[in-house]
Structure 1
Amino acid sequence: MRRDTFLRTLVALGAAGTLPGLARAAANLKMMIPANPGGGWDLTGRALGKALQDAGAASVTFDNKGGAAGALGLAQFLNSKGDPNALMTMGAVMLGGIITSKQPVTLTQATPLVRLTSEYNVFVVPANSPLRNMKDVVEQLKKDPGSVKWGGGSRGSTEHIAAAMLAREVGVDPSKINYVAFRGGGEAIAAILGGNVTVGGSGYSEFAEYIKSGKMRPIAVTSETRIKGIDVPTMKEQGYNVVIGNWRGVYGAPGITPQQRKELIDLIVKATRQKSWTEAVDKNGWTPALMTGDEFERFVDNEFASLRAVMAKSGMI
């Protein structure tokens, strides 16, 4: 084939969207982050965006849309039907929010791509709090459930579920817990540092710098065993059978083709091998939990069922 004919063929294939690899590597990706700046989804989305560019994407732009456990961002994202350059960060919090809020939008309308990380929640108190550990919190909770103000992500988040599980565990009606939902990690952090909540909960990555600087005191993690490098007792070792994990992943737009889905998955997997991504994982204390395609879709379906059962048992639904 003559060189000029070959080049015209490449241009035609690119215009038709049938040029795998090269077209995807030059993509101008759009990342929906369904939360306000400063939280786990925001940290994940922006770290992934940097890694995607390192992996070959031409550019990545970000759109933060917080509210309703990510349902507002999800609703906006669903308008990108058929767009192979549209991505959305999501995770266990979104599933819990959909269950509790009965939003009209669902994740089944979008395209599951990749699970990225897992992370357990840490509960903290302000540095000047008189509550020294989870036992102190429980004692106050038993005396007056409403006096313990729990601050965290939207209703149905893993920290909300953990608080309800703890209440049930110690004989307190879970419906009486005083839970304050925030639209993003930045709002929750400000409330904790300002002493406007009694206990704050989130992924360790969101609180790490404040814990290290002594502005927050960690009192429990929701993992089965202590997390390596994080000297915080688990709920279980303090006598409370509360174990719940968080995870985060990426979805694509509704209606993309199987080939477009595969190209996005391949690019995201390539991004997770970039130095910028592995450094973000280490810095934020995330655990790599790569899962792709149909396997990830089945995982999400199972998580919906599991979370619904836990929330029903804890009196949340």
Structure 2
Amino acid sequence: MMPTQEQAPPRRRSRWRLIVGALAAVAMIAALAITGITQRSQSASALEDALGGRQLRIMAPADPGGGWDQTSRAVQTALGDIVGRTEVYNVGGAGGTIGLPQFVRHTGEANELMVTGAIMVGAILTNGSEATLDDVDMLARLTTEYLVIAVPADSEIQTMEDLADAMAEDVGSVSIAGGSAGGVEQVLTGLVAEAVGADPREASYVAHSGGGEALTTMLSGRSTAGMSGISELLPYIEDGSMRALAVSSPERVANLPDVPTLRESGLDIELQNWRGIAAPRGLGEDEREALIAMLDEMHESAAWREILEDRGWEDAYLTGPELTEFLKTDQETTAQILEQIGLVK
């Protein structure tokens, strides 16, 4: 007669429990996998419904080559396995305030997205734009990035202290090239001028509609120095075309470990640029939730993590009420700084 479970020797009971435990664990893993597949399937179905068979389109509200263009194409790449083919198109000029009113017209179109960020916040104020970020539906903040101040390799200016001394002596004679008027580069120019004791309203800032144009000015030597996101100037710093003077981060950054911060250079300044993505107003709640779920999935993907690492972008993903509060604070702070350095009244 075979022994019952209760009659089984202690060793056999222990082995039986291990087998049962292993089977339970396998069942749990299988259930979680099925749940995950089901959730992904539901998410994909919701996204298909939201897009309604239309191709996803992303506006980069700047000319090719700059940070918004790079971000749009990075999102396009990272979404490849999630939504398939995506179109990126450029509408450049005036810190995004030419593209913004065009984007606002896409009311209720869930397949239309736009990259935006800190530069547009400032440009809306300095350009007196009728369209504002209140006219779009902000879905997520994606990244933040610090800026680098650099000069052409053959410049006589060797250090940030040299540039600061030149600005203190005659701020109007030191031209600084960067992106759109009112953007973070012009804000940084004004803050540096103020920090060296000059009138920031007299700073000579050369605005450009896109990063490509600004880069041409910087490399040609037509400006004394240039300011841009680290990822935009890093290739030219690494190949020796430009010399980095300082970064606007609180600590030195990993991809430019030998470049001092502005604080190390004697200027108590810290400034970073953020970039995010918006949809038009007028979306249904299901459509909006499907787009955010799409961005959530992108944010967790290996492709996006690789892009962040390669570009040196900080992961600053934010959605929901926290994003709303961030935008409110950022707009208030930007307005205060622009008024402080004389760019708006």
Structure 2 length as normaliser, TM-score?
0.84
Question: Which letter maps to 1:35?
Answer: A
| Equivalent in the alignment of 1:233 | 260
| Equivalent in the alignment of 1:190 | 216
Tell me how far apart the structure 1 counterparts of residues 327 and 180 of structure 2 sit (CA, whole Å): 19
2:153 to 127, 144, 154: 127
Q: Deviations over 1:43-98 (max 9, x none)?
A: 111010111122x2132111101111101111111111100111000010000111
Tell me how far apart the structure 1 counterparts of residues 48 and 284 of structure 2 sit (CA, whole Å): 17
Tell me how far apart the structure 2 counterparts of residues 193 and 276 of structure 1 sit (CA, whole Å): 32
- Structure of greater relative contact order (alpha carbons < 8 Å, 6+ residues apart): 1
| Equivalent in the alignment of 1:8 | none
Which consecutive aligned stretches of 4+ in structure 1 deviate over 6 angstroms post-superposition?
none
| Equivalent in the alignment of 2:331 | 304
User: How many pairs were matched up?
Assistant: 298
Q: Is the 8 A contact 2:167 2:196 kept in 1?
A: no
Tell me how far 1:282 sits from its aligned partner.
0.9
| Equivalent in the alignment of 1:270 | 297
Q: Is the 8 A contact 1:119 1:286 kept in 2?
A: yes
Q: 3-state DSSP class of the match of 2:116? A: strand
Tell me how far apart the structure 1 counterparts of residues 91 and 47 of structure 2 sit (CA, whole Å): 30
| Equivalent in the alignment of 2:65 | 38
Find out whether 1:169 has 2:201 as its counterpart. no
2:248 to 215, 222, 225: 222
Q: Deviations over 1:208-259 (max 9, x none)?
A: 1101100010001111111123221111111101111111000001111122
Tell me how far 1:24 sits from its aligned partner.
4.9
| Equivalent in the alignment of 2:119 | 93
| Equivalent in the alignment of 1:11 | none
| Consecutive unaligned residues in structure 2, runs of 5 or more | 1-44
Tell me how far apart the structure 1 counterparts of residues 291 and 309 of structure 2 sit (CA, whole Å): 24
Find out whether 1:208 has 2:208 as its counterpart. no
Q: 3-state DSSP class of the match of 2:245? A: strand
Q: 3-state DSSP class of the match of 1:223? A: coil
| Equivalent in the alignment of 2:342 | 315
Structure 1 length as normaliser, TM-score?
0.91
Tell me how far apart the structure 1 counterparts of residues 47 and 341 of structure 2 sit (CA, whole Å): 47
Tell me how far 1:156 sits from its aligned partner.
1.2
Q: 3-state DSSP class of the match of 1:248? A: strand
Question: Which letter maps to 1:248?
Answer: R
| Equivalent in the alignment of 2:173 | 147
Identity of aligned residues (%): 38
Question: Which letter maps to 2:238?
Answer: K
Question: Which letter maps to 1:102?
Answer: G
1:74 to 88, 100, 112: 100
Q: Is the 8 A contact 1:265 1:293 kept in 2?
A: no
Tell me how far 1:316 sits from its aligned partner.
2.2
Tell me how far apart the structure 1 counterparts of residues 292 and 125 of structure 2 sit (CA, whole Å): 27
Q: 3-state DSSP class of the match of 1:122? A: strand
Q: Is the 8 A contact 2:245 2:260 kept in 1?
A: yes
Find out whether 1:59 has 2:85 as its counterpart. yes
Tell me how far apart the structure 2 counterparts of residues 65 and 46 of structure 1 sit (CA, whole Å): 14
Tell me how far apart the structure 2 counterparts of residues 98 and 60 of structure 1 sit (CA, whole Å): 28
Question: Which letter maps to 1:262?
Answer: E
State the superposition RMSD in angstroms.
Answer: 1.4
Q: Is the 8 A contact 1:65 1:73 kept in 2?
A: yes
Residues 236-247 of structure 1 aligned to structure 2 (within 5 Å): 236-247=263-274
| Equivalent in the alignment of 2:25 | none
Question: Which letter maps to 1:161?
Answer: V
Tell me how far 1:315 sits from its aligned partner.
2.4
Tell me how far 1:171 sits from its aligned partner.
1.1
Tell me how far apart the structure 2 counterparts of residues 40 and 313 of structure 1 sit (CA, whole Å): 26
Bigger CA radius of gyration: 2
Question: Which letter maps to 2:249?
Answer: S
Q: Deviations over 1:174-200 (max 9, x none)?
A: 111110001111111111111111111
Residues 94-113 of structure 1 aligned to structure 2 (within 5 Å): 94-113=120-139
Tell me how far apart the structure 1 counterparts of residues 207 and 338 of structure 2 sit (CA, whole Å): 16
| Equivalent in the alignment of 1:14 | none
| Equivalent in the alignment of 1:15 | none
Q: Is the 8 A contact 2:50 2:286 kept in 1?
A: no
Tell me how far apart the structure 1 counterparts of residues 198 and 133 of structure 2 sit (CA, whole Å): 33
